[in-house]
Structure 1
Amino acid sequence: MNHVTKTFRSCVSAAALAALSVSAALVPAQAVAAAPDDAKQVEQAVAALRGIGTMKADFVQTDRSGQTVSGVLTMKSPGKIRFQYQPSAKMLIVGDGRALNFIDYEVRQVQRWPIKNSPLGALLDPSRDVAKFGKLIQTGNPGVVSIEVRDRSHPEYGVITLIFTRKASAPGGLELTYWVSLDSQNKRTTISLSNQRYGVPVTDNDFRWNDPRPRNRR
């Protein structure tokens, strides 16, 4: 097993959680914070995510030991996401709007999390109160907005922090630049985005994948 694959496996749970958090944020929902100014900034962040019809971006995923793996992120509203990792990783994460799929081509295995049963899955349900899980974190920089998402009744789900920078050309004037996930074992994973492209052609075929499992074992 190559070094990149070992690095990827060491943080795959956190990566999957991170993917879920972004997919969740794409689903329309109302967010309300305690302080009026906080409420305004949270609403702006939610509006910015809602404003992403389609997006592609380059990403770099970093684990707590500083090991990295890169790839291309594809998003389509509502709730679809694809992490196309560099070829040497031999892995893929795809959220098709119903479930998140982790495909390991090296060992020919597939793991699938139903969205309704996933960590932070409550965020995907528009009837649920997002304010119960998300809050503004002060950064001291007016050009940066940080939203922390956690379900305090389920600490095993971990914590996701979404970081936006103000950019006039981005949907809603805010651009998602990176997010940090911390799981219940304190494993930290950061995914940084660059070269974000909005409104690019994306079809449902972009969220399909080849199943590596032997046909007679499915």
Structure 2
Amino acid sequence: MNRRLALLAPLAFLLPFPAAAEKISLATLSSYLNSLTTVESDFTQVNSDGSISTGKIYINRPGRVRFEYAPPDRSLVIAGGQQVAIFDAKSNQPPEQYPLKRTPLNLILAKDVNLGQAKMVVGHSDDGTSTRVSAQDPENPEYGTIELVFTDNPVELRQWIITDDLGAQTTVILGEMKKGGQMRASLFDITAETAKRGN
């Protein structure tokens, strides 16, 4: 080590360590979610049985999302028109459908996300690297919960874990998010997708 570096070495102990990430406020997280209009990202899904799926997700807030699963799965999930449709690639039956408001995903697809709403957030913690928020429909907690995982600087949604009414958990981990831009309305058109598949 040369003399100059040797003299500077003790100074390294005096420099402050990077501060651990602080818990991001619910107001900041609500503003962030409301700022998301369109998002496109790769995703990895860990299913309740431990199996793993991958694919591409398209979000068009409010109220629209499309999960395109990669081969060999080829399943498809679309939310649009206040409905969620699950297209099973192995079935020639019409998609299974139910109201979007009955799913915890509705909480982040809502037109105006307000995590500060009474009884919506049931958990808000920080582990030093990320902030986790567990939320439920305050009117219908039996619909299940969604746990959102965010990192800071800048605030970014990294993953979510949905726990359904039976306690089964599904984790979705997002890749790099491409934000903004236009998306075709047909991506979220359940009726058109059903007709295209001949269901």
TM-score by length of 1: 0.67
CA contact (8 A) 2:87 2:95 kept: yes
Residues 1:96 and 2:77 aligned together: no
Instruction: Give the structure 2 partner of residue 199 of structure 1.
Output: 180
Instruction: Give the structure 2 partner of residue 156 of structure 1.
Output: 142
Residue in structure 2 matching 1:78, options 62, 85, 100: 62
Residues 1:113 and 2:98 aligned together: yes
C-alpha deviations, 1:146-178, integer Å up to 9, x for none?
11012477553222100111143xxxxx11100
Backbone CA RMSD of aligned residues: 2.8
TM-score by length of 2: 0.72
Residues 1:137 and 2:124 aligned together: yes
Partners of 1:146 and 1:121 in 2: CA distance:
15
Unpaired runs of 5+ residues, structure 1, are 1-36, 169-173
Partners of 2:112 and 2:177 in 1: CA distance:
26
1:97 Cα deviation (Å)?
4.2
Instruction: Give the structure 1 partner of residue 193 of structure 2.
Output: 210
Q: Write 1 or 2 for the structure with the bigger share of helix.
A: 1
Partners of 1:132 and 1:154 in 2: CA distance:
10
> Identity of paired residues, percent?
23
CA contact (8 A) 1:136 1:145 kept: no
Which residue identity lines up with residue 55 of structure 1 in the other structure?
V
Bigger relative contact order (CA 8 A; separation at least 6) = 1
- The alignment of Structure 1 onto Structure 2 pairs a total of residues equal to 170
Q: Which has the larger radius of gyration?
A: 2
Secondary structure at the residue paired with 1:49?
A: helix
Partners of 1:195 and 1:155 in 2: CA distance:
31
Which residue identity lines up with residue 87 of structure 2 in the other structure?
I
Partners of 2:149 and 2:182 in 1: CA distance:
25
